[in-house]
Structure formats: C-alpha cells, structure tokens
Amino acid sequence: MQNTIEENIKDTLPANIAQHLERALDYLPGGKTAKIEKTKTEGSFNHILYITTATERYVFRARRESSAEEIEAYMRYMYEFTGFIANGGSFKIRNIAEEIDFLKRALAVDLPVPQLIYAEKDWMLIEFVQGKPLLQFLEDGVVEVLPKVLREIHLAHSRGIIYADRWSGNEMIDSQGNVRMIDFDIEWFYPTDNDGTLEALEMAWTIFNAMRVTSKRDDLLKIVETDVVPSLKAWGYQFSKIRKFSEGLTNFYLNPNKPSNEWSLSTDLYIAMAEPANRLVAMFAEAA
C-alpha cells in the first residue's frame, strides 16, 4: 500500500503546499514510499523539504505565502548603506518560476548549481547537494576555503551570471573541496549597461560576510591580502567599487541603530568587528 505524506508533516503545511508536495511525490519513482523530512532551519522565503527515495535524495522548494515586506525593508536599508540603491541598483525576491529560469540559465553554461529534476510554476524538485555550507567552515575557523568559493563566483561572472545573496549559507563545499551554489531567491538589477558594479558588489559581499562571521578574522584577512586581492586584480575587478561596497557594509553592521529582525544573525557574531572591518576596507582602498 502506498503512503501519503506523513500526517505530522502534512498538518504543518498550508493546503496548497501539501498538494504540491503530493504532486511531486507522484512524479518521483518510489515517491509515495519516500522519507520526507523538514530541514533544521527553513529559509525566510521557502518551504523546504528533503525527499529520500530508495536510490536518490531530492529537495522540494515552494515559496511561503507570508509577506516579505519586513525582509525587503531590511534588505533595502542595507543596500542603501552600500550606495548600491543610490547608484541606480535594485533587487527583488524571485518567484519560483523566475528561480527556475535562473537555474536553467546557470545550468546551460555549466555552473555548479543543483540539477533541476522537475518543476511547475509554484514549486520545484532539485538535486540534493552534498556538503557543508561555507558558513560552517568559517565559524570553525577554516578560512582557507574562501578563495575557492571566490573562484567559482568569478567563473559565473565570466559566463554572465550573478548569483547574488552569497551570505555564506548558500555556498556548499563537499568532502573533496568542490563548491556548489544553492538558493537563488534574490536577484540584483542594474538598469543601465552593467559596468562591473554587480560583479564588484558580489565579491565585496562574499568577502565581507566571510570576515563578519568567522572566528579567525586575522587569518582570513591575511588570505585576502596574499591570495584574494592578487586574484581580483588579475581578473579585472574594480577595487574602487569593492572598497565602497565594503565600507557601506561596515557602516551598516556597526550602526548601533541598525534594524534587526528574526532573520538577523546573532549579535555576538559582530563583537570586535570594527577593527578587522576597517582593515579590510583599507586593503581594498590601497589596491584601488
């Protein structure tokens, strides 16, 4: 006898999401007998479930129906500090159909994103990506993985793709050191011809956030100085923009009146951040 979705999970899902999940299980061979698990921490925007069949593991994603106004306001405030908004930049939260389109574009140019298994306009099934997030490596002080992540981001830039929202939880690293990118809820825009602004913002964003969350800031800054800066120079990134964005992020996180919400990282991660953050900005200023 085939199983339906376990009641203890089904009862926690909105009716339409439970229906989408049933449809996903209908599509998967062996789906009706699959093990279904909620993730330990779901994102702000999505219902995320792991589906494990006898042979494979998948991820089910569907957008939440709750309003994202508070999150968008927080993000806009942060982007305003960087100067990105004043310079004409903008952002939006993608719907599922838009995220599917992004995945298809990234896969078409052989970037390390999850394989798309099946999708309808309101939900998707994607490959389960093995590994640990960059955030966990950084919190554990394993900062030498950062250059490898930045190389993958540069590869995407060289193929016309901006991932956006690389906050160290969306970069997965497996046991062989391979980097895979996940979660593409956020899109960055530039209304005129992009002049390297989005690429500089993504690099500044990734490096700054690595410095912000790691327990080994001195070690990380040394790697930025000896490895990252020379690579960014060789790749042709604009350090004046990277410095400006890094300075804006520093001012944002050190602002005592900075808004916070349930999605903010713990304030103890920002302790003693001023000195290393200013060193990072100075490093980029000198490189410019």
Instruction: Write out pLDDT tens, residues 184-218.
Output: 999 998 877 778 999 999 999 999 999 998 989 99
Mean of pLDDT values over 106-134:
96
Residues 8-36: what's their mean pLDDT? 86
Cβ–Cβ < 8 Å for 32, 16: no
The CA distance from 180 to 114, in Å, is 8
Reported pTM:
0.91
188: which 2 tokens? 């960055």
Handedness of CA 222, 227, 228, 229 (dihedral sign): positive
Q: Is the pLDDT of residue 92 over 60?
A: yes
Structure tokens at 246: 């890094």
Give strand pairing partners of 126. 59, 116
Confidence check: pLDDT of 3 > 50: no
Six-digit token string for 64: 């939440």
Contact call for residues 127 and 117 (beta carbons, < 8 A): yes
pLDDT band at 6 (very low <50, low <70, confident <90, very high): low
The pLDDT of residue 29 is above 50: yes
Give the pLDDT confidence score for residue 1 in this predicted structure.
33
Which residues lie closer than 8 Å to 65 by C-beta, 6 or more apart?
14
User: How crowded is residue 137: how many other Cβ atoms within 10 Å of its Cβ?
Assistant: 21
